Amino acid sequence: MASLVTKNFGLLTRFAKTVSNGSQRLSSHFIYYPDNEKPVEGEMAKMNMMQAINNAMDITLKQDSSAVLFGEDVGFGGVFRCALGLQEKYGKDRVFNTPLCEQGIAGFAIGLATAGATAIAEIQFADYIFPAFDQLVNEAAKYRYRSGGQFDCGGLTVRAPCAAVGHGGLYHSQSPEAFFAHAAGLRVVVPRGPIAAKGLLLSCLRSRDPCVFLEPKILYRSATEDVPVEDYTLPLGQAQLLREGSEATLIGWGTQLHVLLEVADLAKDKLGVSCDVIDLQSILPWDQETVCNSVKKTGRCLISHEAPLTSGFGAELAATIQNECFLHLEAPVSRVAGWDAPFPHVFEPVYLPDRWRCYSALTQLLDY
Amino acid sequence: MALKTGASFLRLNALRQTVRLLSTHTRPEVQNGGKTGDFPGAKAAYVTQMKFLNENSYDPIPIYRVMENNGEIIDKHEEPSIENEKLIEMYKTMVQLNQMDKILYESQRQGRISFYMTNYGEEGVHLGSSAALSPQDLVFAQYRELGVLLHRGMTVTELINQCYGNCEDPGKGRQMPVHYGSSQRNIVSISSPLATQMPQAVGAAYAFKRQPNNDRVVICYFGEGAASEGDAHAAFNFAATLDCPVIFFCRNNGYAISTPSSEQYRGDGIGARGPALGLHTIRVDGTDTLAVYNAVSSARQLALQNKPVLIEAMCYRVGHHSTSDDSSAYRPLEEIEKWNKDESPLSKFKAYLERKGLWDDEADKAFQKEARSIVLKTMQESEKKKKPHWKEMLEDVYYEMPEHIQKQMKEMENHLKKFGEHYPLNQYQSE
């Protein structure tokens, strides 16, 4: 009897594993690590990242009568439901659909901001932000500079869902942050969860510089936290040290941060090694101080991002780290990234820089 | 003159009928007992006869004119009532513009400024449109609209300072010459990428629309070449679907650098795209300042009702594209000559003023001389002024200078302490 129970239990476990492997292949290459800290005191509510973003936009639309929210399919709430209920609440002239044209959305948004309004533009997927590249890089980024400060489009924030989602293939999975990181004048921000998303988005919306806010779409529903209901902001241009350790520094942003937190746990469990884990949050301008202080302390650094390796933002970090921390480095800076290929459909599990690739790189870094 | 026009009109009409008879591409007749389709994408009648439409299916949009080449008003009802003083001011601005173009073009040839673009042949477009707007209206320009800027009150000094990039240029010497801008005069700083200003103008117009009791419109200038950019299509479509108080003003001068309009589009110019996208549209004679004035005045009224307007002003780019271009490489001199002599907006407008007794050759000579001396004097002064401090190179990238840029500024400062002799530091202001 006992053996039967054990046998059944074994079968069940195996079944559960199969299911979880299946769902892992489709949606979950990471375990979500919710934030436990409260950025502000006061009432909290359970929110997923979609709701936190909705909440930030709701606060902005309520407080700032110049603020408008627009993009493709935003009127009915957006394909990811981030704008849910906002048109009903604020009216069609403040929350509206645009024609299907990304360069138009970006240009229109710049014009609104130039005229002094707060423009919240949505690009349906970050993969489709490239038609707006000219407007964002040649226009938005350079508006203040080229006019000698006479004109600016600081009221502009472009939101776009980014990164892997399990089955997004080439054009529903991209992480384009490095393309924008080369455009002086822009701010580029990626949140790792609901609390960060609300605080950072509110900062972007109030920032006097144009911002590109990239939202890891896999977190919209899967990430839930107790988010302060009240208004709060989180500083732009600052990284956050989430875990303190001594042997290595792990740096990432967005979804990948959760992969790195798990790798830090694996390292602790399997190797007894403790790591600093840093969420960069702001890609441009980025927080050199937090990163370099950590690497000077640990002497080893692993950077990981979903975007392809070559000229990914990890390259910028690695180059700066070797310049600033040369005498403290015990090993070459390691980069674990997406491969230098378009983001594939069925190969996603072997494309992503998952926990095992990061863990493997960390062991090599520690053994160097 | 009137007879000649009548005759050519008859010829044109006969030609059109021939085209229609020969063409299989005219609009199909609707003979179906009045049945209409109820598709969400379009409400239209059904037809049972299969016919494709093409550029010959519609008559070309006519060109609105108010005066003859000799300054004579064709239809008295169409003569705008502009005060005499304003008319003279408009003409003077054209002359000032011309003198600036002449002297700055030459100064580029002499290597005194790095680049220049003239406005020859398009003076009527600038003054006719600018005079019909309110100073509160926001201008988004392409780069060949200097007359609008002058008429708006930008001084010759401000403009020439920009061309020299000296310490008094409000743009702080960062952009190439002719990339003017003035927040005080509601002129958004010009940038080189073509047509990018078009959807931006629509966004700004949307922001105006949301102001209570809005009395401001946005005008957006662009050439027929720029209209081929994707941003132009975006702008037309956004303006129409979002009901924005914007006037799109196309300067169709026949060329985009060396590319003739026949290689730019195959439809009926830029104007034909207006109704297709839901814009109120008119085509005007851009060499006829009064026609432009009337069109923009009425467009402004429509725009204030949140009805976006497209104006296509037909003109001819008499000068080279820029100082980096020799247009004789791609067009005959006789063609340029014709437009410079017979169709000059400046001489047409002058003839009109003369008929009204507001101007004569003597006044013309005297003002030409005055305008010329203003430019020459200003150039001498602007040339002497230093360029802004080199640190201005790193200001205004962001609202506040981020740490990494502060570091780079420090790095350059240290570099200049050691190697300053290798840089033209005496040309820049010092601290």
pLDDT for B26 equals: 63
Nearest CB neighbour to A146, from listed B175, B183, B231: B175
What is the reported pTM? 0.93
Asked whether the predicted pLDDT for residue B9 surpasses 90, the reply is no
Asked whether the predicted pLDDT for residue B11 surpasses 80, the reply is no
Catalytic residue among A72, A139, A172, A247: A172
Q: Is B106 marked active-site?
A: yes
pLDDT for A300 equals: 98
Separation in Å, CA B348 to CA A77, A173, B62, B91, B286: 56, 60, 20, 10, 11
Catalytic residue among B322, B327, B344, B382: B322
Over range B373-381, report the average pLDDT: 97
Q: In terms of CA atoms, which chain A residue is nearest residue B181?
A: A147
For the ranges A16-25, B66-75, B262-271, B379-388, the lowest mean pLDDT is seen at A16-25
pLDDT for A12 equals: 41
pLDDT for B25 equals: 52
Over range B380-387, report the average pLDDT: 96
Note the ipTM here: 0.93
The angle at the Cα of B254, spanning B253 to B260, to the nearest 5 degrees, equals 150
Optimal mutation site among B189, B395, B406, interface A, most CBs of chain A within 10 A: B189
pLDDT for A5 equals: 40
Q: Is A172 marked active-site?
A: yes
Over range B315-320, report the average pLDDT: 95
Test B171 with A147 for CB contact under 8 angstroms: yes
Q: Are A278 and A329 a contacting pair, CB within 8 Å?
A: no
B405: chain A residues, CB-CB within 8 Å: 184, 285
Nearest CB neighbour to A150, from listed B189, B200, B233: B189
Question: In the numeric block, which tokens belong to residue A272?
Answer: 């007894």
**Residue keyed to tokens 């589009």:** B265
Measured in angstroms, the CA of A154 and the nearest CA of chain B are apart by 8
Test A151 with B189 for CB contact under 8 angstroms: yes
Test B397 with A139 for CB contact under 8 angstroms: no
Q: Are B219 and B275 a contacting pair, CB within 8 Å?
A: no
At residue B33 the predicted structure's pLDDT band, cuts being 50, 70 and 90, is confident
At residue B34 the predicted structure's pLDDT band, cuts being 50, 70 and 90, is confident
Interface contacts (A, B; CB < 8 Å) = 159
Q: Are A332 and A299 a contacting pair, CB within 8 Å?
A: no
Q: In terms of CA atoms, which chain A residue is nearest residue B175?
A: A146
User: A228, A212, A336, A352: which is closest to A282 by C-alpha?
Assistant: A212
User: What's the mean per-residue pLDDT of chain B?
Assistant: 93
pLDDT for B70 equals: 96
pLDDT for A8 equals: 43
Which mean pLDDT values do the consecutive 10-residue runs of chain A (368 residues) have?
41 42 58 91 96 98 98 97 98 98 98 98 98 98 98 98 97 98 98 98 98 98 96 98 98 98 98 98 98 98 98 98 98 98 97 98 97
The full DSSP string for B60-126 is PPPEE-SB-TTS-BSSGGG-----HHHHHHHHHHHHHHHHHHHHHHHHHHTTSSS-----TT-HHHH
Asked whether the predicted pLDDT for residue B240 surpasses 50, the reply is yes
pLDDT for A24 equals: 43
Test B203 with A113 for CB contact under 8 angstroms: yes
The percent of chain B in helix, strand and coil, each rounded to the nearest 5, is 45, 10, 40
pLDDT for B29 equals: 73
User: A218, A259, A209: which is closest to A237 by C-alpha?
Assistant: A209
Strand, coil or helix: A96: strand
Nearest CB neighbour to A288, from listed B188, B189, B404: B404
Asked whether the predicted pLDDT for residue B51 surpasses 80, the reply is yes
